[in-house]
Structure 1
């Protein structure tokens, strides 16, 4: 029997833009996703955009009732910045009413809300000013955060500033998966810096708010970096991949500073961001109370064919490595490596003062799940149960080794919209039929997890 600590948070996670729908309803202004879909709908899978997604805006009470039936005791979602402050200044009373009702509904049903402020949904009015490239975005975000704490801090006691800030930087500023589809590493570094500064100023706003009796965090995708071999060149490649993808965010959020050799690397390449006097003190004085960790797959790297210094791109330092022995999710194409959770826990224990943390996302995306529907209309997702069980076993091992992990959240509760894949890959405990009024139907994993939560643990013999 794998028994978890008393009070362990069992839950699930989603985001406002991927679940709420009502994208331009009740005063909400457009985000980059709304505008991008308007401009280039052909780039979105099956031309399904962000307009309705899973319609939680209308169906949140049903979702919360389903959470209660599943025994969930916690749930993470986000606030849509462009719904709460459509022009960045004026409060939208309909948004306040919606979120207060939603969050109170969770609390009233024994589900603790963990609320995130930014999940890739940049308001279009700010994108037109340069988005995270513009220094003014930092203060706009800090103001938005202060409003959220003021309006909902009496209900919400666990907050996060950003979800996976690396993603909107990497995918939008040296990739094509997020707007504005820019390929410029120097601009990406500036976006990253302003994002982290906005995070720190939001933490400061929380500490100064009248509802500062809770805790605040950041949610990071802490995919551990593994070198191809123990050869010096591969170890060097892994070191730099770790600096860029893990330490740049984790060091700043937890320690309030950046590693000297990382800063030196950027300066050498004329990639260092523009800063202002006093920024360093803002970082140092506003570290997080806990960390959310999103873990899906590890990052495996090797030395590049030609190492280049000074660098102009991350791949001047490392190249991806395809481990031939990997276990793969054939539906999503991602490696399945449960051991990564244990390694993350030990990293936080040894290098970050064993800061409290939780698994804020973990999950398995599978396409065409209707193939596994039984005669009762239930998706028999034994593959998801096995995936969760394997990862929970490693998480339990980490807790036994002294890691203060206090929760596990699956991505996601009810199938949600994905940025450029719509509903191709399904992740939820509940199936959402977007062609039948967004009807929710429990999958087999929901019944299995309800039993796990009731027992606060599981036995390997249950499958």
Structure 2
């Protein structure tokens, strides 16, 4: 099993989940600071105030990544660290990422920078947040500031990570920050997140240097019906429409899918009013590659009443239920379905006309323990092995996949689940901040090192 020359082998993180240092460098509060501080919002009352203390320990963490043999690091910039009020630049905040990028380059690691991974400055949320159109314009300003500071050393740029989660979990179900539960508001937020991506693309490409590549990362959940009837096909269409095509198609220049427009029109009409002339052209700014985040498919079944709300509170989903996932499951209760990743990559490639793809997030949480200085996480090793074979199968089928990023480098603050879920290649003792490389980290490093050899001799470990 060999991968293409120049393939990116990396691990991914997000600023709020690992950095800590909330009182350092003039950082302003984000919506996740506010959300985590509210009673009952995060399991165990956990916050990201310290998290992995990456703000102070980044040289150690980058050293661990490089020592494994991974050649790329996908990280996000905290908007509220760079612009504490969402508008005014902090030199001290930018200086942290300046140091981080320099350390990556010193270690021979490619920086893959994400501008937005859900931590909106609280000041902008106070002014309306993503349901307010002006936030998209402020995001473009922020993108330009970061690019101006780091564009001489960073070539790989991602605008927004998973607008689905930021919009539908943050403003639709209220499970994530800022904790708003209103489907119509979520749809407006989703449009403005995509608009923000497009406006940021304009700002970034206006400053682009040779070698720069621009992208965004979408999370996909393939819809698998539990039967073959027309009603089952309709259930799968609805779920695929709102979860996958609603975000993918506008980026590809296809606009919002007509069937999804019909599915969501009963929510009140604010979404339709928020889409102005020219917006879809802005969103369709050409990207160099698409980040594909994949964890699990969704098993769906129709309801007898096509207007019944079902058990999935996403906008537009009436008349279907999402079934409990079949095993084997991760500790998060997510299905392990590597073959669905192969099919997903092939589907996106066909729908996009062969757009280059990067698996920007893929991973699994399991119950990990340090025993005699080692973490024997055989289940995660098997997970990575199976999913890398799935990526390889897609490449053999002609899909242009250019990288794979494990989620995540470190065990971290796992959003509303607090510190109960461990995804890392590196175990973190959150009391002592002791790092311990897991067997899965060593495995992925062996695969990366093997594929760093000349193509004629490269083989994958395992």
Q: Residues 126-141 of structure 1 correspond to what in structure 2 (within 5 A)?
A: 126-141=124-139
1:56 to 2:54 alignment = yes
How many angstroms apart in 2 are the aligned matches of 1:317 and 1:213?
A: 47
Once the two structures are superposed, residues 56-85 of structure 1 have per-residue CA deviations (whole angstroms, 9 ceiling, x without a partner) of 111111111111110110010100000001
How many angstroms apart in 1 are the aligned matches of 2:309 and 2:257?
A: 18
1:424 to 2:420 alignment = yes
Q: Residues 219-230 of structure 1 correspond to what in structure 2 (within 5 A)?
A: 219-230=217-228
Helix, strand or coil at the partner of 2:317: helix
Once the two structures are superposed, residues 361-386 of structure 1 have per-residue CA deviations (whole angstroms, 9 ceiling, x without a partner) of 1111013x11xx333x1001111110
Normalised TM-score (structure 1):
0.93
Q: RMSD of the TM alignment (CA)?
A: 2.0
Q: CA deviation at 1:128?
A: 0.5
Q: Residues 278-297 of structure 1 correspond to what in structure 2 (within 5 A)?
A: 278-284=278-284, 286-297=285-296
How many angstroms apart in 2 are the aligned matches of 1:430 and 1:151?
A: 30
Normalised TM-score (structure 2):
0.93
Q: CA deviation at 1:185?
A: 1.4
Q: Residues 23-422 of structure 1 correspond to what in structure 2 (within 5 A)?
A: 23-40=22-39, 42-211=40-209, 213-255=211-253, 257-267=255-265, 270-271=268-269, 272-284=272-284, 286-308=285-307, 313-322=315-324, 326-367=326-367, 369-370=368-369, 373-375=370-372, 377-422=373-418
Contact 1:24 1:30 in 2 (8 A): no
CA distance 1:455–1:266, shift in 2 (3 Å) = same
CA distance 1:434–1:266, shift in 2 (3 Å) = closer
Helix, strand or coil at the partner of 1:127: helix
Tell me the residue number matched to 2:438.
443
1:452 to 2:450 alignment = no
Once the two structures are superposed, residues 83-119 of structure 1 have per-residue CA deviations (whole angstroms, 9 ceiling, x without a partner) of 0011223211111211011012112211111111111
CA distance 1:148–1:233, shift in 2 (3 Å) = same
CA distance 1:281–1:445, shift in 2 (3 Å) = closer
How many angstroms apart in 2 are the aligned matches of 1:148 and 1:345?
A: 31
Q: CA deviation at 1:267?
A: 4.3
Helix, strand or coil at the partner of 2:56: helix
How many angstroms apart in 1 are the aligned matches of 2:59 and 2:178?
A: 35
Q: CA deviation at 1:43?
A: 3.4
How many angstroms apart in 2 are the aligned matches of 1:453 and 1:266?
A: 44
How many angstroms apart in 2 are the aligned matches of 1:246 and 1:90?
A: 35
How many angstroms apart in 1 are the aligned matches of 2:42 and 2:185?
A: 25
CA distance 1:380–1:216, shift in 2 (3 Å) = same
Q: Which moved more, 1:275-284 or 1:399-408?
A: 275-284
Helix, strand or coil at the partner of 2:218: strand
Helix, strand or coil at the partner of 2:112: strand
How many angstroms apart in 1 are the aligned matches of 2:207 and 2:278?
A: 21
How many angstroms apart in 2 are the aligned matches of 1:310 and 1:280?
A: 29
How many residues align structurally?
A: 451
How many angstroms apart in 1 are the aligned matches of 2:288 and 2:208?
A: 17
Once the two structures are superposed, residues 104-142 of structure 1 have per-residue CA deviations (whole angstroms, 9 ceiling, x without a partner) of 211221111111111111110011111001111111111
How many angstroms apart in 2 are the aligned matches of 1:389 and 1:458?
A: 13
How many angstroms apart in 2 are the aligned matches of 1:182 and 1:425?
A: 24
Q: CA deviation at 1:273?
A: 4.1
CA distance 1:337–1:215, shift in 2 (3 Å) = same
Contact 1:269 1:309 in 2 (8 A): no
How many angstroms apart in 2 are the aligned matches of 1:340 and 1:215?
A: 27
Helix, strand or coil at the partner of 1:36: helix
Contact 2:35 2:41 in 1 (8 A): no
Tell me the residue number matched to 2:454.
none
- Unpaired runs of 5+ residues, structure 2, are 452-457
Q: CA deviation at 1:277?
A: 3.2
How many angstroms apart in 1 are the aligned matches of 2:237 and 2:434?
A: 47
CA distance 1:309–1:281, shift in 2 (3 Å) = farther
